């Protein structure tokens, strides 16, 4: 069992963050996009944990908890809206189709 | 008292003009005639009164009011009566009165007669302002005023667009000279701080530029080369207009200006030489053109140019008195010629082509006599005619200045006699081509009579010593111009007398009724001469047409394209940003990511 | 500088109480009229409480998250009044069972207030997400309109993305400084320049997104179009005021007078926003989208004020925020009053409904910065700030942007003046809306001709207190 | 002098009254009468102001000041000198043709029309009086708004483009001026610690040459757009062409003069050194304007466009005069502005009347109108002649003094300016020739040329003619008044408590 240093954790968080961002950009499915955003949020949360560990302070963990609750709330609302989209008769979850608001 | 008269001399025609123009044609024709002619007649009477009183050399100064008074420059409107303006005043009022009287008959049936007389009286007023002004700037009021009246009167019959074009041309060409003159005034005002003539002449700033600029104004106004092209076209106006404005008065304003400012010119020999040269060139070119014209008024127009060329020649030669003398006699006989020609034109159904007339001497003997008197004076037939004496004086002056000038002037004199008698022989002799109708009324005949007599005897006021030692005019003008130069050898007089006679003989040989078969030589030179030596074409191709064409091309203003381009750029930018707004959420996320990366790079940059 | 006392501004508990009351009301019996009354009363009471001193913070100074200084009071006043206007605007426009709409509005307002007063990243984050999540509900309110869902999903995805970016930036910042207090991380820390700079860039990105500055603005037009009109007004006014207030506080201790990474990024974004926002608005046919573009541009003007430290900088920004809120709220109220968001529909409005058209014209004139409307003085004030800080390039962008702005604002005025086909949409304006519009129009003109009172208000404001000036018990 | 703000407020209030009086359902001439009463009252007020002005106590004739936005050092300060007085008179006189001739023919919403006309006049009066730079800028921008609406609502076929162009150009350049004003204010604040927009205080600001030049250019561009100066003139032809008659008269007669006024008051007098260094450029621009305007005027088929370009040409003389650096040029420029206002204003009235009668401004479709409309045509002839600068009319006095002043510093410039006089003859006479003379046109409806000018028109235009003649033959009162008072001259409150 080796302890990871905060710097390594930050690096991991950055990698996770980039992965999530790529996911948002690359995926067309709304659900997957939401999931990618969750990954990014979690990357941020991880970074807070790492930073908190560096300063031996509780704020990092406070922020982690808050991010978790935010992610939950966002997922809830997001899923609700997607459900409503589906109920309104949208055939797919493809984010690239059926856009009316543009220009 | 004289001061008041002087004001009234100007005020009467001005008042008449105001009344006539404001009446807007609601006045009966007869009243119009009475007001128009009467006002100038009153002026003439008063002018006569002033003239008989003020023969003393002392000049009369009548300040009116201050016009502009600013830092470093002030000018006032003031009249001066000195011998020169006295002579001019008499010419303008008397000849003007006679021409207006004639116009009463000539324009009798025109519905717009009020406008006509309004403009004519306005012209007389402006001309008098020009003549009386003691300040160059108020002179300029008259100078431009006569120009605009000329414009209005040439285009008087404005339904014909040719008349309108001729009027516009006349004004614009003279305006070119006026602009030069204005520049001259600016220069003088800057140098001397004043434009008042007396102090200006007391210490003339020897400025060649100023002299040449002023000369530009004189050249254009007096239809001298190279700005002469407007005068033949100006004949589009009614004949009394041609007589008054384009023969007797306005066109001689240039001569007056140079004579008035003669110390300024005399101080610049180059300017004097140029004046003489312009005069010589114009008198020869115009005489040549007059030789081949077929329109009677155009013959007279070219003749006017040519005669004013004589005056310029005299001015350039320093023979100031001769120039003014010729101005006076020319005003008389040219007005006479025009009015006689007008009488002819009126009788032959407004035809002006001399080849369509012919044999009119029998049909209208009175008019013929008048025309003949005028022609004789113009040709300068010896002893009997006014033109002889004035031209003789010019020839003397030219001889003293430069024999070459004299030779040219003599050649001109020959041509003059030829072209005017060509006109007489074709119009009044030989077979008749048109039957004249009507008769020349009294209002038209009386001025013809008066001027006819004057054209014959008017020259007697100043004769060469060889004939009779009468020097009324020279003596009158001598306080201004100094004593006239001594006379040359007597063979000069002989030559000057014989050349016109030779000219008449030559005309008789060529165009006497019996050999009407003689057709004018139709070669390129004649064609060129008929069109005024191609000046019109030249200016048209070089200046007018390119200028107008480029203007047309740029009608929508190229600068406007700049603003259009800016607007188009903005719109394109808007469209681009609209495309950024594709509606696809992934694309939006892409922009955010791109922005983030750009921000990160920005942080890494320095 | 004397440390500022920390404390809880009384408006926050009042708002919280109002929210609870409203929930109780909804639970008891639904009535839109009652909901609106409760909401309005809460907002006005909260507004009145701004003159009361801050409450002592029960948790002690160690947990101080909010700064109840003059800047907060002023911003809170603007937010509360704008929210009240939004509440009035929403009256009878949101369907049958609309009580929760007001609840969400109050929640959003609470979030905005927290954000405006935050001195700490935790508070900022809390406020921001409260605002965002209530906005989500508000945007998606019209369940029958498919565009509402589309707008909501877009907002959800993008706002989530930006929240993540912001959070990551905050985490990095925390990792280098060890504090969650507001302070731009210094690049000369022990970790080298890379992480602080990255942190700044990410935090700014997150804030710019919510502020909808170019190039992070793309969501705004779509969301504004899809959202109900009062919500669009809420996004354009309340959320922007709060965001700008937080941004100003974030940079309160920083030196923006001298070039630096943050300054450069702010300046670039300001220029892009001024030009881009106006250009974007130029091609719009929908009034709400156009106002979205215009609000983007106004963010650019505000950033110019932010970038002009000195006695005029934030004072002018404060004045501008007021002018902007009045005119933008007024414009949305007019859209709501006519129930027309298509510019084509506004053709001939001067003939059909002259009073409404006049009010709209006054709002547009104010937004364009033409006298005698208040926007004229506001823009002048900003230019004073810009000139005093010698922000030449930014001023150039402001001039160019303003000229483009004139074009499209006046285009609407022109359309309203033209003759138009018969009225195919004879909507009647509710008296409450009419009163709101009239009041806003009058305020726009009155404040434009006599701006002295407001100017003195803004001049009296201290610049937002930097977070480290607040009494802290501990400092790690 | 409380009368100074009254001069601004009276037209505005009168306009409101006219508008309210026209609110009834029946078409009525009541608004028209109210407006006439307003301008007559305004004339009386101005007369009172003139008679009670403090002549002899210094160049500044009147003063009024109350605090407005003291927090930023802004006051509602107005001062009047001879220049302001002359231009106020011009404004008031030109309001007569606008109201009496043009507004009478407005069929639709005459009350609103008059409101806009009168508020424009109020704004212009404010511009001529304000000596607080913020107040000046406030009026400067304010006067555009009613004009914009006038063009948009009552303009001709291409009014949209014209109105927006007008607004964007003038407002956009105004923003540059705003930056310059504020730059001056801030520099003054930096050096003295007082924040003020007061003209007299700001004139004392010590500036480095480069700064002064930059600030001066900010002002210059704004006024150059308004005057207009080539190549910033592009808004003008469209605007003048498309505006309703009263709008064209106001624009050409008065609004353009605010540009000249601004150049004198806020460029040359506020930044004398920078202006002196800028003189060569300004002279070149002025001459370019004279020649370019005249050249394009010549090429136009649209009568109003022709007159508009002729304005560009005429106002080039104003630029020359203002920058000639001598009082003489300044006075000449003022006379030129007044004369141009009268003559061009009248020409626009005439062009507008023709449009009302013939429904075209295209001179290719006119011609020979003299037969049908002798009065109108002769009036047009008069004003065309005045506009070509015939001595004896006001325009000549202005042009002559300007050219004389210009000659002192740069004879070639003056020569080119004089060449502009030739061109002005060309386009003026071309216009007269094409529209009024020649054979009657086979235009749209030659028989329906409509009624000739009646008593109302002839009276108003006749008075204008008389004014031009008086200005041309006895300009001394205007010349005496027209020298602007510098900011360092004795201020009125010093002489008149």
What is the rounded distance in angstroms from the CA atom of residue C257 to the CA atom of residue C263? 8
Whether B383 and B514 map to the same domain: the answer is yes
Secondary element (H or E) of residue D221: helix D209-226
Q: Residue C325's closest CA among C138, C112, C49, C45?
A: C112
Interval D74-92: pLDDT, tens: 999 999 999 999 999 999 9
- Please enumerate in sequence order all residues whose Cβ is within 8 A of that of B13, keeping only pairs 6 or more positions apart, or say none: B39, B40, B43, B121, B122, B124, B125, B128
ipTM comes to 0.90
Bridge pairing between strands B73-81 and D60-69: unpaired
D2 pLDDT higher than 50? yes
| pLDDT above 90 coverage of chain D, percent | 65
| B253-260 vs B136-154: helix crossing angle, rounded to 10 | 170
Q: Is A5 on the interface with C (CB under 8 A)?
A: no
Q: Which of D87, D150, D33 is nearest to D482 (CA)?
A: D87
> In chain B, which among 532-591 make CB contacts under 8 A with chain C?
570-571, 573-578, 580-581, 583, 585, 587-589, 591
Kindly state whether A48 is in contact with chain C, defined as any CB-CB distance less than 8 angstroms: yes
In a domain? residue D321: yes
> Among the residues of D300-326, which ranges form H helices?
303-323
- Residue A98 falls within a domain, yes or no? no
pLDDT class of B606 with cuts at 50, 70, 90:
low
Q: Is residue D357, in this structure, part of any structural domain at all?
A: yes
Establish if A102 belongs to a structural domain.
no
Q: What is the pLDDT of residues B142-183, one digit of tens each?
A: 999 999 999 999 999 988 889 999 999 999 999 999 999 999
Across D395-413, average pLDDT: 94
* Per-residue tokens: C447: 């404040």
Taking the C-alpha atoms of residue D356 and residue D453, their distance in angstroms, rounded to an integer, is 12
Structure tokens at C68: 């109840």
C340 touches C427 (CB < 8 A): yes
Contacts of C390 (CB under 8 A, 6+ apart): none
Range of the domain at B559: 534-564
| Average pLDDT of the residues of chain D | 90
- Give mean pLDDT, residues B472-497: 83
| Residue among C125, C126, C77, C136 nearest C101 (CA) | C136
- Cα separation, B341 vs B350, in Å, equals 11
- Comparing CA positions, the residue from D144, D348, D149, D139 lying closest to residue D237 is D348
Closest among C327, C277, C279, C282 to C297, alpha carbons compared? C277
* DSSP element (H, E) containing B77: strand B73-81
- C163: nearest CA partner in chain B: B592
Q: What count of other Cβ atoms lies within 10 Å of the Cβ of residue B541?
A: 11
Q: Which residue has the higher pLDDT, B451 or A103?
A: B451
B294 with B344, same domain: the answer is yes
- What is the reported pLDDT for A1? 40
Task: Inform me whether the pLDDT recorded for D495 exceeds 80.
Answer: no
pLDDT of res. C97: 64
- Residue B511 pLDDT: 84
pLDDT digits (tens, 9 = 90+) for D96-130: 998 888 777 777 788 889 999 999 999 999 999 99
User: What are the structure tokens assigned to B447, written together?
Assistant: 């001025």
pLDDT in tens, D135-185: 999 999 989 899 999 998 888 888 888 998 999 999 889 999 999 999 999
Number of domains observed in the structure of chain B: 2
The answer for residues whose C-beta is within 8 angstroms of residue A39's C-beta and 6 or more apart is A16, A17, A19, A20, A23
Across all residues in chain B, what is the average pLDDT? 89
Give residue for tokens 């109105």: D163
Q: Quick check: A11 contacting C, CB < 8 Å?
A: no
- How long a stretch of residues is chain C? 476
Q: In this predicted model, what pLDDT tens digit does every residue of B113-138 receive, in sequence order? A: 999 999 999 999 999 999 999 999 99
Alpha-carbon distance of D293 to D319, in angstroms, equals 13
A68 occurs within a structural domain: yes
How far is Cα D121 from Cα B68, in angstroms, rounded to an integer?
30
Specify whether the CB–CB gap between C299 and C211 falls below 8 A. Answer: yes
The answer to the question of residue D1 being in a domain is no
Alpha-carbon gap, residue B100 to D52, rounded angstroms: 52
C-alpha distance from residue D311 to each of D75, D250, D363 (Å): 35, 13, 18
3-state secondary structure D276-295: HHHHHHHHHHHHHHHHHHHH
Q: Which residues fall within 8 angstroms of residue B538, CB to CB, at 6 or more apart? A: none
Does residue D294 belong to any structural domain of this protein?
Answer: yes
Q: Decide if B602 touches C, using CB distance below 8 A.
A: yes
Bridge partners for C120 per DSSP: C181
B413 touches B338 (CB < 8 A): no
Residue C469 to residue C471: CA distance in whole angstroms: 6
Closest C-alpha to B323, from B410, B274, B390, B268: B390
Residue C291's CB is within 10 A of a number of other CB atoms, namely 29
**Shared-domain flag, residues B541 and B458:** no
Are chains C and D in touch, 3+ Cβ pairs below 8 Å? yes
Q: Which residue of A has its CA nearest to B580?
A: A103
B69 found inside a domain: no
Interchain CB contact of C407 with D (< 8 Å): yes
CB atoms within 10 A of CB B362: 11
> Residue A17: its chain C contacts at CB < 8 A?
164, 168
Residues of chain C with pLDDT under 70: 1-6, 57-64, 93-97, 184-191, 421-427, 462-463, 465-476
The answer to whether position B95 is within a domain reads no
| A93 in any annotated domain | no
Q: For the ranges B86-95, B256-265, B351-360, which has the lowest average pLDDT?
A: B351-360
Query: Is pLDDT of B313 > 90?
Result: yes
Domain containing A11 equals 7-87
Q: Is residue D394 part of a domain?
A: yes
Q: Contact at 8 Å (CB) between C170 and C151?
A: no
User: Which of C106, B548, B591 lies closest to D298 in space, CA to CA?
Assistant: B548
Position with higher pLDDT, D275 vs D489: D275
CATH number assigned to the domain comprising residue A78? 1.10.287.3510
Closest CA to D429 of B155, B245, B340: B155
3-class SS of residue B124: helix
Q: What is the DSSP string of C250-297?
A: HTTTS--SS--HHHHHHHHHHHHHHHHHHHHHHT--BHHHHHHHHHHH
Say if the Cβ atoms of D479 and B69 lie within 8 Å: yes
Distance, CA of C112 to CA of C79 (rounded, Å): 8
pLDDT for residue D496 is more than 60: no
Residue B483, classed as helix, strand or coil, is coil
| pLDDT tens for each residue of A55-64 | 888 888 889 9
> Is A in contact with D (3 or more beta carbon pairs below 8 Å)?
no
**pLDDT exceeds cutoff 50 at D208:** yes
Of B441, B351, B378, nearest to B101 by C-alpha is B441
Chains A and B touch (3+ CB pairs under 8 A): yes
Tokens of C177: 């400084």
Interface of A with B (CB under 8 A): 21, 24-25, 28, 33, 95-96, 99-103
Separation between Cα atoms, residue B221 and residue D20, nearest integer Å? 59
- Please give the mean pLDDT across all residues of chain A: 86
Question: Domains of chain C: which residue ranges?
Answer: 255-462
Of A24, A99, A103, the CB nearest to B584: A99
Q: How far is CA B447 from the centre of its chain?
A: 22
Using an 8 Å Cβ cutoff, are C406 and D167 in contact?
yes
The helix or strand, by DSSP H or E, that contains position D69, with its residue range, turns out to be strand D60-69
DSSP lists the bridge partners of residue C118 as: C66
Name B133's bridge partners. Answer: B79
What Å distances lie between residue D170 and C365, D226, D251, D470, CA to CA? 15, 6, 12, 33
Name the strand (E) or helix (H) holding C72: helix C70-90
Coil vs helix vs strand at C118:
strand
Please, are residues C473 and C61 in contact by the beta-carbon 8 Å criterion?
A: yes
CB D294 within 8 A of CB D285: no
Question: Given phi > 0 = left and psi -120 to 50 = alpha, else beta, which region is D392?
Answer: left
Q: Check the CA dihedral B588-C110-C359-C353 and report its sign.
A: positive
Q: What is the DSSP letter of C58?
A: T
* Residues contacting residue D190 through CB under 8 Å, at least 6 positions apart: none
**Which of B68-72, B94-98, B145-149 comes out lowest in average pLDDT?**
B68-72
Q: In degrees, to the nearest 5, what angle opens at C-alpha B433 toward C-alphas B428 and B438?
A: 75
Whether the per-residue pLDDT at B491 is higher than 80: the answer is yes
Structure tokens at B256: 């007056």
CA distances from D409 to B74, B188, D324, D413 (A): 18, 14, 7, 9
Q: How far is it, in rounded angstroms, from Cα B271 to Cα D196?
A: 61
The answer to which of B50-54, B142-146, C403-407, D290-294 has the lowest mean pLDDT is: B50-54
Distance between CA atoms of A74 and A82, rounded to whole angstroms? Answer: 12
Task: Give B295's strand partners.
Answer: B353
Residues of C in contact with D149 (CB under 8 A): 417
Residues linked to residue D80 through DSSP beta bridges, in sequence order = D62
Asked if B444 and B457 sit in the same domain, the reply is yes
| pTM: predicted TM-score of the whole model, two decimal places | 0.92
Interface of C with A in 138-157 (CB under 8 A): 140, 143, 146-147, 149-154, 156-157
Closest to C376 in 3D by CA, of C459, C440, C450? C450
């Amino acid at each position: 069992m080796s302890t990871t240093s905060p710097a390594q954790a930050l690096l991991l968080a950055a990698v996770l963050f980039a992965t999530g961002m790529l996911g948002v950009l690359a995926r067309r499915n709304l659900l997957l996009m939401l999931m990618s955003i969750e990954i990014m949020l979690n990357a941020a949360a991880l970074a807070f944990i790492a930073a908190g560990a560096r300063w031996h302070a509780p704020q990092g963990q406070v922020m982690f908890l808050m991010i978790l609750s935010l992610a939950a709330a966002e997922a809830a609302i997001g899923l609700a809206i997607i459900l409503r989209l589906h109920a309104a008769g949208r055939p797919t979850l493809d984010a690239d189709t059926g856009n009316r608001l543009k220009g | 008292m004289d001061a008041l008269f002087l004001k009234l001399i100007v005020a009467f025609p001005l008042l008449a003009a105001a009344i006539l123009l404001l009446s807007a044609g609601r006045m009966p024709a007869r009243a119009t005639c009475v007001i128009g002619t009467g006002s100038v007649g009153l002026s003439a009477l008063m002018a006569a009164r002033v003239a008989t009183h003020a023969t003393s050399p002392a000049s009369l100064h009548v300040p009116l009011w201050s016009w502009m008074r600013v830092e470093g420059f002030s000018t006032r409107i003031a009249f001066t009566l000195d011998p020169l303006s006295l002579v001019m005043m008499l010419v303008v009022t008397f000849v003007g009165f006679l021409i207006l009287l004639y116009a009463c008959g000539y324009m009798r049936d025109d519905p717009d007669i009020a406008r006509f007389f309004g403009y004519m009286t306005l012209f007389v007023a402006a001309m008098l302002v020009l003549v009386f002004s003691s300040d160059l700037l108020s002179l300029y009021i008259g100078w431009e005023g006569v120009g605009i009246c000329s414009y209005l009167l040439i285009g008087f019959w404005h339904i014909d667009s040719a008349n309108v074009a001729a009027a516009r041309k006349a004004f614009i060409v003279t305006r070119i000279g006026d602009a030069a003159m204005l520049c001259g005034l600016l220069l003088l005002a800057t140098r001397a701080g004043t434009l008042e003539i007396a102090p200006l002449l007391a210490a003339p700033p020897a400025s060649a530029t100023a002299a040449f600029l002023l000369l530009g104004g004189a050249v254009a106004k007096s239809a001298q080369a190279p700005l002469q092209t407007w005068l033949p076209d100006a004949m589009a106006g009614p004949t009394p207009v041609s007589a008054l404005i384009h023969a007797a008065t306005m066109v001689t304003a240039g001569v007056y200006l140079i004579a008035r400012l003669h110390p300024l010119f005399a101080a610049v020999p180059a300017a004097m030489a140029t004046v003489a040269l312009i005069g010589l060139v114009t008198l020869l070119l115009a005489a040549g053109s007059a030789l081949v014209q077929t329109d009677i008024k155009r013959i007279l127009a070219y003749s006017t140019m040519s005669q004013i060329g004589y005056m310029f020649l005299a001015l350039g030669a320093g023979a100031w008195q001769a120039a003014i003398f010729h101005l006076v006699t020319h005003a008389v006989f040219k007005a006479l010629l025009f009015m006689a020609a007008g009488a002819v034109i009126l009788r032959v159904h407004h035809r002006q082509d001399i080849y369509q007339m012919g044999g009119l001497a029998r049909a209208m003997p009175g008019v013929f006599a008048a025309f003949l008197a005028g022609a004789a004076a113009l040709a300068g037939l010896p002893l009997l005619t006014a033109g002889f004496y004035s031209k003789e004086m010019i020839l003397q002056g030219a001889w003293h200045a430069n024999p070459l000038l004299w030779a040219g002037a003599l050649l001109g004199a020959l041509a003059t006699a030829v072209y005017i008698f060509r006109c007489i022989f074709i119009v009044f002799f030989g077979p008749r081509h048109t039957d004249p109708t009507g008769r020349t009324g009294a209002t038209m005949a009386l001025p013809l009579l008066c001027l006819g007599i004057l054209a014959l005897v008017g020259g007697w006021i100043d004769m060469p010593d060889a004939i009779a030692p009468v020097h009324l005019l020279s003596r009158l003008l001598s306080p201004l111009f100094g004593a006239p130069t001594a006379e040359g050898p007597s063979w000069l007089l002989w030559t000057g007398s014989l050349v016109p006679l030779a000219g008449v003989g030559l005309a008789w040989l060529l165009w006497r009724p019996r050999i009407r078969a003689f057709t004018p030589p139709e070669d390129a030179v004649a064609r060129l001469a008929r069109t005024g030596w191609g000046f019109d074409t030249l200016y048209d191709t070089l200046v007018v047409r390119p200028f107008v064409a480029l203007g047309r091309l740029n009608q929508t203003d190229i600068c406007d394209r700049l603003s259009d381009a800016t607007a188009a750029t903005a719109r394109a930018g808007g469209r681009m940003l609209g495309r950024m707004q594709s509606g696809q959420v992934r694309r939006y996320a892409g922009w955010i990511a791109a922005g983030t990366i750009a921000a990160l790079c920005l942080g890494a940059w320095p | 500088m004397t440390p500022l006392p920390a404390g809880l501004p009384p408006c926050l508990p009042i708002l919280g109480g109002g929210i609870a009351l409203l929930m109780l009301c909804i639970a008891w019996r639904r009535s839109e009229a009652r909901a609106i009354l409760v909401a309005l009363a809460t907002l006005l009471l909260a507004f009145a409480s701004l003159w009361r001193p801050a409450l002592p913070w029960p948790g002690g100074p160690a947990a101080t998250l909010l700064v109840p200084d003059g800047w907060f009071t002023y911003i809170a006043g603007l937010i509360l009044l704008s929210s009240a206007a939004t509440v009035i605007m929403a009256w009878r426009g949101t369907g049958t069972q609309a009580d929760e709409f007001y609840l969400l509005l109050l929640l959003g307002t609470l979030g905005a207030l927290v954000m405006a007063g935050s001195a700490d990243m935790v508070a900022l984050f809390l406020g921001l997400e409260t605002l965002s999540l209530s906005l989500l509900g508000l945007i998606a309110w019209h369940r029958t309109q498919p565009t509402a869902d589309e707008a909501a999903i877009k907002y959800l995805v993008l706002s989530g993305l930006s929240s993540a970016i912001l959070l990551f930036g905050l985490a990095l910042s925390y990792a280098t400084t060890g504090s969650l207090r507001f302070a731009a991380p210094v690049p000369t820390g022990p970790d080298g320049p890379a992480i602080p700079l990255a942190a700044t860039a990410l935090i700014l990105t997150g804030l710019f997104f919510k502020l909808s500055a170019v190039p992070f603005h793309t969501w705004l037009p779509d969301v504004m179009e899809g959202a109900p009109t009062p919500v669009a007004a809420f996004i354009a006014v309340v959320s922007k005021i709060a965001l700008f207030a937080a941004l100003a506080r974030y940079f309160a201790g920083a030196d923006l007078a001298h070039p630096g990474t943050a300054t450069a990024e702010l300046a670039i974004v300001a220029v892009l926003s001024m030009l881009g926002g106006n250009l974007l608005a130029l091609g719009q046919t929908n009034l709400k989208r156009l106002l979205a573009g215009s609000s983007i541009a106004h963010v650019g003007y505000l950033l110019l004020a932010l970038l002009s430290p000195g006695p005029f900088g934030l004072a002018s920004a404060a004045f501008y925020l007021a002018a902007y809120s009045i005119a933008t709220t007024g414009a949305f109220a007019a859209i709501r009053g006519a129930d027309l968001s298509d510019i084509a529909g506004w053709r001939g409005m001067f003939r059909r409904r002259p009073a409404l058209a006049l009010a709209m014209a006054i709002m547009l004139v104010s937004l364009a910065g033409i006298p005698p409307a208040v926007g004229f003085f506001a823009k002048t004030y900003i230019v004073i700030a810009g000139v005093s800080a010698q922000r030449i390039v930014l001023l150039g962008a402001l001039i160019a942007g303003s000229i483009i702005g004139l074009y499209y604002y006046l285009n609407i005025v022109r359309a309203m003046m033209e003759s138009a086909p018969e009225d195919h949409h004879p909507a009647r304006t509710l008296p409450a809306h009419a009163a709101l519009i009239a009041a806003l129009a009058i305020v726009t003109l009155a404040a434009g001709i006599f701006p002295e009172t407001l100017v003195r208000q803004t001049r009296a404001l201290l610049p937002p207190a930097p977070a480290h000036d607040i009494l802290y018990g501990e400092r790690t | 002098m409380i009368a100074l703000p009254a001069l601004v407020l009276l037209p505005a209030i009168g306009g409101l009254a006219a508008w309210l009086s026209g609110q009834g359902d029946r078409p009525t001439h009541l608004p028209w009468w109210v407006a006439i009463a307003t301008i007559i009252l305004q004339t009386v007020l101005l007369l009172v102001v003139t008679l009670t002005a403090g002549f002899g106590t210094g160049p500044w004739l009147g003063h009024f000041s109350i605090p407005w936005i003291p927090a930023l050092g802004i006051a509602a300060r107005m001062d009047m000198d001879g220049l302001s007085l002359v231009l106020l008179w011009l404004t008031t006189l030109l309001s007569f043709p606008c109201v009496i001739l043009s507004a009478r023919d407005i069929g639709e919403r005459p009350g609103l029309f008059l409101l806009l006309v009168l508020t424009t006049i109020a704004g212009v009066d404010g511009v001529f009086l304000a000596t607080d730079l913020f107040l000046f800028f406030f009026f400067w921008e304010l006067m555009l708004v009613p004009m914009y609406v006038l063009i948009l609502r009552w303009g001709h076929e291409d009014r949209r483009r014209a109105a927006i162009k007008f607004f964007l150009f003038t407002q956009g350049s105004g923003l540059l001026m705003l930056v310059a004003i504020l730059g001056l204010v801030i520099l003054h604040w930096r050096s003295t610690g007082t924040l003020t927009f007061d003209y007299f205080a700001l004139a004392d600001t010590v500036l480095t040459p480069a700064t002064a030049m930059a600030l001066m250019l900010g002002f210059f561009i704004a006024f150059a757009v308004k005057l207009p100066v080539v190549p910033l003139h592009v808004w003008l032809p469209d605007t003048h062409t498309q505006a309703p008659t009263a709008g064209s008269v106001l624009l050409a007669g008065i609004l353009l003069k605010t540009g000249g006024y601004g150049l004198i008051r806020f460029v040359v007098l506020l930044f004398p050194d920078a202006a002196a260094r800028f003189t060569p450029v300004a002279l070149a621009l002025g001459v370019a304007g004279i020649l370019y305007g005249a050249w394009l005027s010549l090429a136009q088929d649209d009568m109003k466009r022709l007159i508009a370009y002729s304005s560009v040409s005429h106002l080039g003389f104003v630029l020359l005069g203002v920058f000639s650096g001598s009082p003489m040029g300044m006075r000449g420029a003022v006379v030129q502005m007044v004369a141009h206002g009268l003559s061009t204003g009248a020409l626009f009235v005439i062009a507008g009347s023709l449009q009302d009668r013939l429904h075209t401004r295209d001179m290719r479709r006119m011609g020979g109108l003299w037969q049908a409309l002798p009065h109108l045509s002769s009036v047009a002839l008069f004003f065309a002649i005045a506009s070509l600068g015939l001595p004896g009319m006001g325009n000549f006095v202005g042009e002559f003094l300007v050219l004389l002043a210009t000659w002192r510093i740069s004879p070639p410039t003056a020569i080119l300016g004089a060449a502009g006089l030739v061109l002005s003859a060309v386009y003026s006479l071309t216009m007269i020739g094409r529209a009024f003379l020649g054979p009657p046109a086979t235009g749209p409806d030659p028989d329906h040329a409509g009624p000739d000018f009646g008593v109302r028109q002839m009276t108003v235009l006749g008075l204008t003619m008389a004014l031009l003649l008086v200005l041309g033959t006895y300009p001394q009162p205007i010349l005496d008044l027209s020298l602007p008072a510098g900011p360092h001259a004795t201020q009125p409150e010093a002489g008149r408590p």
